[in-house]
Amino acid sequence: MDGIGIGWPTLAEIWPYIGIGFAAQLVDGALGMAFGVICNSLLVGVLGLPPALASAKVHVVECFTTASSGLSHLYHRNIDKRLFFKLLLPGVIGGVTGAYLLTSIDASVVKPFVLGYLTLIGIYLLVRGIFWPPKPREAKSVAPLGLIGGFLDAAGGGGWGPVVTSNLLVQGVEPRKVIGTVNSVEFFLTIAVSATFIASIGVADLAGPTLGLILGGVAAAPIGAWAAKRLPVKPILIFVGLVLAATSVFGIWKTLG
């Protein structure tokens, strides 16, 4: 697996990544979360990529998928302008800080912590799914949530959606507006985070599977925006939580074993 991401792959090599990107973006578009954590869990936990490289790949892909998803949500009028601007700047600041930190730490040291974080995100989503729907409450903490979500998203290779979307839903914001707005802000977050990673580690290692993830993710984005209005949230959250937790625990077992 050491050569993954260097050079352009054959069609046979990128089909699995097209499938991963499609499935991850379908879930992300429907729930407003989980593209990064699904892809990153597989890249780090199963394929064994260094956390910084895996996070960089995911965020480069998300530049395309979030653009497509954001435009789809804009078309479906799923965006709250006030919430958008409250999340934008704190999210970007947190994301750039997290990306810089991740590239400054040795991969062998940070990898178990990243996988542990992804395991907790999976358990968190599972619990949220079991106790869905949340009790409506007034949204109060938005900017700090954006700052923390952006930082964890970059440093952990994913988590903007699980952290920000799920907490805004718990605070009682309309689900359709939360999903559309958080997805739209994520485009600007991923641009900033990707630029930080590229400045730190270069672009040579960002090819390969990245192309498959982009193709699959962009293809699924319009379907995800449509699904946000129609698919039941509870069973999807439970399923995604179980898959993420299991994948990340497997990655920890491989790393420590």
164 DSSP 8-state letter: I
Cα separation of 122 and 243, whole Å?
7
Domain ranges of the chain: 11-256
Q: Taking the CA atoms of the chain, what radius of gyration do you get in angstroms?
A: 17
Distances (CA, A) of 30 to 12, 201, 230, 235: 28, 32, 8, 12
Question: What pLDDT score does 18 carry?
Answer: 84
Q: Which residues of the chain have pLDDT under 50?
A: 1-7
Question: What pLDDT score does 6 carry?
Answer: 42
Question: What pLDDT score does 28 carry?
Answer: 74
Cis peptide before 162 (omega within 30 of 0): no
pTM over 0.85: no
Question: What pLDDT score does 5 carry?
Answer: 41
What's the pLDDT tens digit per position in 135-172? Answer: 656 566 788 889 988 998 888 777 787 778 777 876 76
Whether the CA torsion 67, 148, 52, 21 is positive or negative: it is negative
Question: What pLDDT score does 203 carry?
Answer: 65
Question: What pLDDT score does 71 carry?
Answer: 87
Cα separation of 172 and 3, whole Å?
46
